[in-house]
Amino acid sequence: MERLRELLQEYEVIFADLGNSLEPRPIPDSRLPAPAPIYIVHADVGEGMTFPELKLVLLTDSDLFGGFTWAVPRRREKSAASSFISDLSDLKVGDYVVHIDHGIGLYQGLRLLEVDGGRRDFMLITYQDDAKLYVPLERLDLVEKYRSGSGMEGAKPVLDRMGGATWARTKTRVKRALRDMAEELLRLYATRKMSGGTAFSQDTPWQKELEDAFEFEETPDQLTALAEIKRDLESPEPMDRLLCGDVGYGKTELAMRAAFKVIQDGRQVAVLAPTTVLAFQHFNTFRQRMAAFPVRVEMLSRFRSATEQKKTINDVQAGRVDIVVGTHRLLSKDVGFHDLGLLVVDEEQRFGVAAKERLRKLRASVDVLTMSATPIPRTLHMALGGLRDLSVIETPPRGRLAIQTIVAPFSDALVQAAILQEMERQGQIFFVHNRVESIFSIAAIIQRLVPEARIGVSHGQMGERELEKVMMKLVRGEYDVLVATSIIENGLDIPRANTLIVNRADRFGLADLYQLRGRVGRADRRAYAYFLIPDEETLTPIAKRRLAALKEFSDLGAGFRLAALDLELRGTGNLLGAEQSGHMNSIGLDLYLKMLEQTVQELKGTPSQPEVRTTLNLGLDIKIPESFIADESQRLRMYKRISSIATAQERADMEAEMIDRYGPIPSPVLNLLNYALLKSAAERLLIQSVERKADELWVRFHPQASVDPERLTRFVRRRRESSLRPDGILRFRLATKDGDLFEPIQNALQELQA
């Protein structure tokens, strides 16, 4: 109402305000002197109507501005969770694993052993000479599944010797090489940070109005990512954030909110898309979403004539355009900006070397938001290494169903059945055939198999007008089947298209197949993806593994894990070179990335401290009983996740999730949750071990522990029968309440840390 009142005042329209009452008021007699005043009424009406006899027109906000402005979303907090985590859910007996202290070994399954009068779960790992290591499952934070990073399929690492010096030497060598590489990369990124950017203003009422007009409820991940993007924009340092989320998970909505925030400060926004079709779709989406506001959105692509492009370029340079959407045409030398504030890049990996070089120059002082469903290994690697900021949207929108994925040899009967099944439910079909020279032959075969189907053909060599015409017919539902090359893989949003058939799927990369599959399943009905292959005997090992991965990762939100697998299959490319790939293979991908992150933090000035892994021996039952979680792989995964708990909030979130999934939590699992939190607190204090002896607690500090001597002295004085021994062991009596050990230990550690 306030927004409308402002507009009416600008145009000097006579209006009568009936106030904010939700109750309908009687409209006065229409026999008023011209011009008749306009009445603003707050009411829940979906669309407008006319009453000719009353000479009355009722207009709603959606009639005037488009969109859905009455649906105010509920806000929910995101639970803390790590996105790129080797959760061991796919670990099988015989797989290689990496123990952070002992190196590469073979996983031999779980064992239930008698320890201190109780039975506990252990992971059995074997090393050279059949040496056995039993790892308590509460310490799975020390174990990762071994994954190579070189792209060498089937390469087997050498088993380490348990207790030998080889593993320590290997880690030292890798750390040294990592430091050299990270220093070089940080120099490049430091130049960007020092160049300075713009600190954009806090949210305005218009920003809230735009966000409240979103017709869906935001997912928790969307809200978290939005907060991170806004924090970056409001910071004086230039933003360089990678927004990673599955197709259809709302990345574009966040980009539009960021763009709107920037243009309210008088700056311009450029949105870069890899294909003409995707640029056209973004153009329409941005324009419709911002129709209620004085924002000018234009497009530069093959869908525009030379005259239209020239006019748009002139208007962009003069500052008359707020948002310009385009393909690589935006990066041409003749395109200049009046005052560019934000660059949004969709699927950066689709651009060529020259375009990326131009992007690199643009990045110098402009805020950049890169969107991707499956980020390329280089981008993913840099994000994980702390060299780029990363936001991940993993939560699926409400009502979204996972895509049923079928890998099968090509057959006429299968193609016919898949198309007819989709047509029977009034849906549309994408048939991907990535050979332009034979695409019309394939279309003819489909027409023969399903004579009643209306078939369209599109490929990248078509003229822009012809391509636009085909795509518009598809959007309007005039085609049942679109036979196309991989031109459709980027961002095309056709909610009725819920069956995808890919011919010769073995010729596509993992990220390409995943992007193609993302073209379906964007509505609330079950979608099907058929990947057609020749006989399986003819497939290469990597092609087999790609297709197996797609079937395995058919659940919602799997894009980020697929990108990680892509990093493993394809290797880290020229970011690292052959030498770094060798280092990665020697310690495994997960540990390599962890060490890279640590190295980057050290170089950024975060003080390093020795690695201490606290041993807790409290004589308590800490396990997940089979009666609570029967499935072994789920139990293993939960052990792994619990072992990584670092804060009280993470512990509370994990407890709430387990209650939701498995029911009331037994006391051994509660002990395990408390154990993980206590371990994390002890490791921050560089405590090597915490041991319970009768009613006493013995705490052994690492020689480099930085506990304040005065605080330690006060601690000893306050507690009777406590002492600090010369060997670094602190002894004190435990004052337990109702048998609860964890609270007094936690309080003691907080007292030492405070």
Architecture of the structural domain at 404-555: 3-Layer(aba) Sandwich (3.40)
Rounded Cα–Cα distance for residues 751 and 718 (Å): 11
What are 357-399's pLDDT values in tens digits?
A: 677 666 666 888 998 876 555 556 665 666 678 888 877 777 6
* pLDDT over 70 (residue 568): no
Pairing relation of β-strands 103-115 and 96-99? antiparallel
**Residue 149: what pLDDT?**
52
Confirm whether pTM is higher than 0.95.
Answer: no
What are 687-703's pLDDT values in tens digits?
A: 888 888 877 888 888 88
Report the range out of 219-223, 443-447, 484-488, 587-591 with the highest average pLDDT: 443-447
According to CATH, the topology of domain 615-753 is: Aspartate Aminotransferase, domain 1 (3.90.1150)
CATH 3.40.50.300 in the chain, residues? 205-393, 404-555
Mean pLDDT on 551-558: 58
Query: Residue 657 burial by CB count (10 A; 0-12/13-18/19+): exposed, middle or buried?
Result: middle
**Residue 576: what pLDDT?**
44
**Residue 219: what pLDDT?**
86
DSSP codes joined into one string, 222-272: HHHHHHHHHHHHTSSSPPEEEEEE-TTSSHHHHHHHHHHHHHTTT-EEEEE
According to CATH, the topology of domain 96-179+578-603 is: Thrombin, subunit H (2.40.10)
Q: Write the DSSP symbol of residue 293.
A: S
Mean pLDDT for the chain overall:
79
What are 478-516's pLDDT values in tens digits?
A: 999 999 988 776 556 777 889 999 998 888 877 677 778
What are 276-307's pLDDT values in tens digits?
A: 778 888 998 899 999 989 999 999 887 788 89
How far does the chain reach from its first CA to its final CA, in angstroms?
Answer: 52
CATH 3.90.1150.50 in the chain, residues? 615-753
Q: Where are the beta strands (DSSP E) in 403-446?
A: 404-409, 428-432
Which pair of tokens denotes residue 713?
A: 């002295």
Mean pLDDT on 419-436: 92
**Residue 381: what pLDDT?**
60
Rounded Cα–Cα distance for residues 283 and 313 (Å): 16
* pLDDT over 70 (residue 16): no
User: CA of 474: how far to CAs of 501, 517, 535, 609, in Å?
Assistant: 16, 18, 33, 60
* pLDDT over 80 (residue 428): yes
pLDDT level of residue 5 (50, 70, 90 thresholds): confident
Architecture of the structural domain at 205-393: 3-Layer(aba) Sandwich (3.40)
pLDDT level of residue 81 (50, 70, 90 thresholds): very low
Instruction: Check if the beta carbon of residue 347 is closer than 8 Å to that of residue 490.
Output: yes
CB atoms inside a 10 Å sphere around CB 626: 12
Instruction: Check if the beta carbon of residue 673 is closer than 8 Å to that of residue 706.
Output: no
What are 177-227's pLDDT values in tens digits?
A: 878 777 766 676 666 666 667 789 899 999 999 998 887 788 888 999 999
